[in-house]
Amino acid sequence: MIYINRYIKSHFKRFFLFVVAVLLGNIAALLVQFKKGDVLNNALGTDYALLSQAIIFLIVFIGLEIVFWLVEFRAQNMFVNHVERDMKHDFFSSILQMGYSKFQNSTIGTYISKFTILIPQIKTTYFSSLMLLLSFCVKIVIITIGLSILNWKVMVLTLVLLTMPMYLPKILEKRLQHFQKQHVEKAEKFVDGLTNILQGFEVIKNFSIEKRIITRFTGINFDASKASLNNDNYSSLMRVLMAFISYFSYFAIIAFSAYLVFTKEFNAGQFFVAVGMIDQLSYPFIAISGCIQNIVAAKVLKTEFVEFISQDRNGNAAKVIHFMDKIKVNNISFRYPGMSSWVFHEVSLEIQKRGKYLIQGESGCGKTTLINCLLRYHQIDRGTITIDGESIDNVANIYDIFSIMRQDVFLFSDTLRNNITLFDDSIKDTEIINILTRLGMTKYATGEGLDTFVGDGMLQLSGGERRRISMARVLLSSKDVVILDEPISNLDEDNKKMIQDYIMSIKDKTVIIV
């Protein structure tokens, strides 16, 4: 997973700080163990001068161990949180690079679930587990060195017995991945289903279908809960088995160390140090098994993330062009997949740069679908659409050429200014005020009016006001071609006349009115 591991390179300084803190902390912990043995031996030998010295060193090493622990935890937290932030940034950027039609293949809930479930799961099961694995491996190496200094027989026996639990996750790898994948899939379906239900809240209330919706919610909630429970139960079973093997190994090593005391190979202090070291090793070996279990289970999550990030966004589109002359629609036909009837058949038109055009027809005749084909939301079945002789299928910057005002207007939960400029700080307030005045929205055509917050749950704008905001947004954009979908509906006669006159006065853009 080269793509995933590049996040480690991006935050290498934090990762390196973590490694250094882990190394120094474990060296301090090893010295603490040896000094504890010195304290015990000196206490039994009644050499109070050496005892006092040993106690002072013990306190110093304990203090250093605590300091390095703090640095380790802070470095780890900074690293995994910055990685999660960057993953969300990359995932969001990948979504915005998608074509609109491809974006529509999944629901909003599915995309949100990637941010709330998939990425946090990768953060926890892979990156956090990877850092813990490194920490435990360093601890094992340091303590193993300490045990070899103390007694090589104890070291060999400890490594042989305490490594036994580490083989379980690899043996059961496929089952681990199966339950992890099932858990994530059901959690994403839950978020998707819940989002869909809440979007239909008005329908639920108007048709009094609360009981049926609760039944529907109960179903998706049960599926998600069951998958989560299965995953947790399997993980718990793994931990219990690993703990059983580790405790059995721990007692066997303690018994052997006691035997060394009986045979006079160990004194009391050495036995005390050995028990402390073995105790410190037992948990890392159990925890390493859990870390490996998580890293193995995360493989399917990383694959899903990388496949999404790496997918081709523009298909075969490779050329960046500037609209200079004309757009030609030549005998195009379109029908939706699985349908036998044409939405429109053999339609042709030619759009000259800076011209004004009206696409007119009865409701349902395919006007909006024609515009969507022009924007490459749909793939036409026959014919060609070209911009200055280049097929739109080859144009990578199609959205840099067209700007559209839809009948259903979306507003960000932000200021009126940002909804019109779309967060472009280069557009001056005077330009916004001028265009709002010309569109008949004089009550907002002030600095204070532009600071008004609009959007869902905020200032309630009429349908006509929302459409005029959308029109201002489109006309202030730098796009060459402006498409206005029923720009004067829901307006009184005076405002209709004002907007019609304004549209006819536009000289620097190609205007298509539907």
Overall fold of domain 326-400:
Rossmann fold (3.40.50)
Q: Which residues have CB under 8 Å from 171's CB, separation 6+?
A: none
Q: Is the pLDDT of residue 231 over 80?
A: yes
Cα 165 to Cα 243, 246, 278, 303, 384: the distances in Å are: 8, 7, 15, 27, 64
CA distance 101 to 98: 8
Domain range summary for the chain, segments of one domain joined by +: 2-310, 326-400, 402-513
Residue 153 burial by Cβ neighbours in a 10 Å radius (0-12, 13-18, 19+)? middle
Over residues 153-178, the pLDDT tens digits come to 888 887 777 777 666 666 776 777 78
Same topology between domain 326-400 and domain 402-513: yes
Overall fold of domain 2-310:
ABC transporter transmembrane region fold (1.20.1560)
Q: Residue 456 — pLDDT band, cuts 50, 70, 90?
A: low
Q: Mean pLDDT lowest for which of 52-61, 421-430, 484-493, 499-508?
A: 484-493
Q: Which residue has the tokens 């099932």?
A: 182
Cα 453 to Cα 47, 408, 411, 412, 459: the distances in Å are: 78, 19, 10, 9, 6
Given this model, what pLDDT does residue 153 score?
A: 82
* Among candidate residues 71, 57, 63, the one with its CA nearest the CA of residue 22: 71
Overall fold of domain 402-513:
Rossmann fold (3.40.50)
User: What are the percentages of helix, strand and coil residues in the chain, rounded to 5?
Assistant: 70, 10, 25
The residue that leads in pLDDT, 192 or 12, is 12
Q: Is the pLDDT of residue 269 over 90?
A: no
Over residues 312-337, the pLDDT tens digits come to 655 555 677 888 999 999 999 999 88
| Residue 492: both structure tokens together | 């009184």
Over residues 29-47, the pLDDT tens digits come to 889 888 888 888 778 777 7
Given this model, what pLDDT does residue 446 score?
A: 92
Radius of gyration of the chain (CA): 34
The residue that leads in pLDDT, 86 or 456, is 86
Given this model, what pLDDT does residue 138 score?
A: 93
- Is the CA virtual torsion 408, 414, 418, 422 positive or negative? negative
Spacing of C-alpha 47 from chain mean position:
61
Given this model, what pLDDT does residue 17 score?
A: 95
CA distance 77 to 83: 10
What's the mean per-residue pLDDT of the chain?
A: 85
Q: Is the pLDDT of residue 468 over 70?
A: yes
Residues paired with 470 in a beta bridge? none
Residue 353 burial by Cβ neighbours in a 10 Å radius (0-12, 13-18, 19+)? middle
Question: Cα-Cα-Cα-Cα dihedral of 284, 289, 293, 299, to 10°?
Answer: 70
